[in-house]
Chain A
């Protein structure tokens, strides 16, 4: 049996990679993938802890996260298409008119 700490460590690594995405990349699609990575890192941690605690709640919560993430992706991709149609780019730095 793999110790829970391994899962948590993997989850932390995945989350860090995901969190780095928005900081160093400018392609909007890559940003989406990074967000998905962070969500799934959190999912992994939830499932791992749930299994350790022998508690079904964490696993149920993961299903909610997945479905919300799916909805979020749908909206996000739609936005992305709209931005691409007007701007001909997916570079988020090009879409920076909303600044003070």
Chain B
């Protein structure tokens, strides 16, 4: 099976093509799309199991399908690889992705463009698989850009709607996501140039291509990094630059400070898209990239990575408290959790970051799908102020959502508890300031999840204009499957066994984090208290929650609350500087520079030529006689000159 790993990404590609060219009916599209991703999951599972039978140091397969680019020294194979890290990522992408495909059959029923939707979902899975299976940076970048494209297309799925809750314009949100990501992608491009200049290859690991051996830059990072070259070719300096550029790319794709602003707006897309792309898989690509290329991250950049992650976690975690839109809470929560992963990676705990990536992928997909089920049942309502008491009408959604929320809040013994606890334990032994930032964030996380559960499912229904109903089984079965994952996901890396840590050891050699029992108990109890606090406060003050009124907590926090609501005014900052500056520049170019400058030059040239020509044109009389006369005069002058000169 391991030599046929190309089947895994091929299946969703086939699904995409079939959907695009052959399928007309909504039901067929859903079945085909889900079928191919399910099959891809089975193949990935087979490959994964077979990889497990190999000895630990041989768990790395590289299949070069063809030579992709070959110009001089620049040689890039179209090669796919499968190692423990790729294995778990592939399983997450196809497993959670497959469930979300099935869910979409129910959620997108009656949509205007269902076939296109499923085609794009398949294309996304294909690109994501290319991203995690690529054996070189360029192919990874192809997937990286491909998932960005699919994100753009799917955020803008309802491009013909002028406004979707909470006051977003899908087409604008799509463009925003695309443009913000360009900043990071440009940095990745520069990083690739620097990698090629420095290491002479874009491959991660050494591979044979024909008769030559391509040196892998990840594999040789230590060797070349140890060599000292004088400035400006100092290798230490160059690897720092490379990792810094990669970090910028990560902040774009994984929605970190300062480029996280696109992710909350990406909620303009259909909810399964939010679950698949903007929670479980695509946004984790940045964390994957750090883990994959971690040998070239050095002390300085790692510190930066840690701070970026921690600040993101805090900013987004507090922003999530103050949102009314059910999906926006989860969006900020996703940004915050990605901050946790990036911070863990920055502290060198790559396996822990991947552990949190996996558990988060499961329970955040569960939460998003649950919120989609709520939105569906509440007749396209997304405002939590209009909900309340839905647990009676939607029992399955309530219980699954509750489990997901508890997992995210870090309640013992659910999946989120174990992964978050390991991150906190890492921070505790590395950097006490980071630890307190992350601890605060995790308490905020527990609080806003308690708030959300209280607002949506408890009390009385505040807006009685609709009658909520439970969703169909296409939607509830994926919820239940994911709920099982959120319940038992922690067994992947329980303290003591550390199965995931050992599994990833060939790729991410690192010491397993020791269980700090006191820390785990204290943070666990605090998380439960914060969650219960959030739940209790909003159940008790449910009467004060209504559209047009401030949140009950606004009374105590005032300006802070407004800052939280606006996510610390990052969007306003960008609007007032980048967006407004760019608009001003565009206005100047369009209204002044183009008509006055460019057109002025063109018209000026024409004017000068016309003026100069009016003098000369009178020579062209049209009379043969005149021409003959001038001709004769010319001949006489030339002959006269020759006679005189010679």
Q: Which residues of A contact B (CB under 8 A)?
A: 19, 22-24, 26, 31, 92-93, 96-100
Beta-carbon nearest neighbor of A24 in chain B:
B625
- Is B632 an interface position by the 8 A CB rule? yes
Beta-carbon nearest neighbor of B616 in chain A:
A100
In the complex, A36→B522 CA distance in Å? 119
Q: Is the interface of B mostly helix, strand, loop or mixed?
A: helix
Contact B628 A96 (CB under 8 A): no
Chain A nearest CB from B630 CB (Å) reads 11
Q: Which residues of A contact B621 (CB under 8 A)?
A: 96, 99
CB-contact partner of A99 in B616, B622, B625, B629, under 8 A? B622
Contact B620 A99 (CB under 8 A): yes
Chain B nearest CB from A98 CB (Å) reads 5
- A19-B632, A23-B628 known; A100 and B623 CB under 8 Å? no
Q: Which residues of B contact A100 (CB under 8 A)?
A: 613, 616-620
Q: Which residues of B contact A23 (CB under 8 A)?
A: 625, 628-629, 632
Q: Which residues of A contact B628 (CB under 8 A)?
A: 19, 22-23
- Is B227 an interface position by the 8 A CB rule? no
CB-contact partner of B622 in A22, A24, A26, A97, under 8 A? A97
Beta-carbon nearest neighbor of B619 in chain A:
A100
- A19-B632, A23-B629, A23-B632 known; A96 and B623 CB under 8 Å? yes
* B residues 598-646 touching A (CB-CB < 8 Å): 613, 616-625, 628-629, 632
Contact B632 A96 (CB under 8 A): no
Contact B625 A22 (CB under 8 A): yes
Q: Which residues of B contact A93 (CB under 8 A)?
A: 623, 625
Beta-carbon nearest neighbor of B632 in chain A:
A19
Given A22-B624, A97-B622, A99-B623; 14 other pairs, CB 8 A cutoff: A19-B628, A22-B628, A23-B625, A23-B632, A92-B623, A92-B624, A92-B625, A93-B625, A96-B621, A96-B623, A98-B622, A99-B620, A100-B617, A100-B618
Give the total of B residues in contact with A, Cβ under 8 Å.
14
14 sampled A-B residue pairs with Cβ under 8 A: A22-B625, A22-B628, A23-B628, A23-B629, A23-B632, A24-B625, A26-B625, A31-B624, A93-B623, A97-B622, A99-B620, A100-B613, A100-B617, A100-B620
Beta-carbon nearest neighbor of A20 in chain B:
B632
Q: Which residues of B contact A92 (CB under 8 A)?
A: 623-625
Chain A nearest CB from B197 CB (Å) reads 59
What per-residue 1/0 map shows which CB atoms of B180-197 lie under 8 Å from chain A? 000000000000000000
Q: Which residues of B contact A98 (CB under 8 A)?
A: 622
Q: Which residues of A contact B624 (CB under 8 A)?
A: 22, 31, 92
Q: Which residues of A contact B617 (CB under 8 A)?
A: 100
Chain A nearest CB from B254 CB (Å) reads 68
In the complex, A98→B620 CA distance in Å? 8
Q: Which residues of A contact B618 (CB under 8 A)?
A: 100
Q: Which residues of B contact A24 (CB under 8 A)?
A: 625
Contact A96 B629 (CB under 8 A): no
In the complex, A100→B619 CA distance in Å? 8
Beta-carbon nearest neighbor of B614 in chain A:
A100
Which of B617, B619, B624 has the largest count of A CB atoms less than 10 A from its CB?
B624
- Top 9 A-B pairs, shortest CB-CB distance: A99-B622, A96-B622, A100-B620, A100-B617, A22-B628, A99-B620, A92-B624, A99-B621, A98-B622
In the complex, A19→B628 CA distance in Å? 8
Which of B613, B619, B623 has the largest count of A CB atoms less than 10 A from its CB?
B623
Q: Which residues of B contact A22 (CB under 8 A)?
A: 624-625, 628-629
In the complex, A5→B617 CA distance in Å? 44
Beta-carbon nearest neighbor of A96 in chain B:
B622
In the complex, A93→B621 CA distance in Å? 10
In the complex, A31→B627 CA distance in Å? 13
In the complex, A54→B629 CA distance in Å? 36
Beta-carbon nearest neighbor of A31 in chain B:
B624
Q: Which residues of A contact B620 (CB under 8 A)?
A: 99-100
In the complex, A65→B613 CA distance in Å? 39
In the complex, A55→B617 CA distance in Å? 48
Q: Which residues of A contact B619 (CB under 8 A)?
A: 100
Chain A nearest CB from B260 CB (Å) reads 67
Q: Which residues of B contact A99 (CB under 8 A)?
A: 620-623
In the complex, A57→B58 CA distance in Å? 93
Beta-carbon nearest neighbor of B617 in chain A:
A100
Chain A nearest CB from B579 CB (Å) reads 54
Chain B nearest CB from A13 CB (Å) reads 16
Beta-carbon nearest neighbor of A99 in chain B:
B622
In the complex, A97→B621 CA distance in Å? 9
Chain A nearest CB from B354 CB (Å) reads 79
In the complex, A92→B628 CA distance in Å? 12
In the complex, A93→B623 CA distance in Å? 6
In the complex, A4→B629 CA distance in Å? 30
Chain A nearest CB from B367 CB (Å) reads 80
Beta-carbon nearest neighbor of A26 in chain B:
B625
Chain B nearest CB from A66 CB (Å) reads 22
Chain A nearest CB from B408 CB (Å) reads 83
In the complex, A44→B400 CA distance in Å? 116
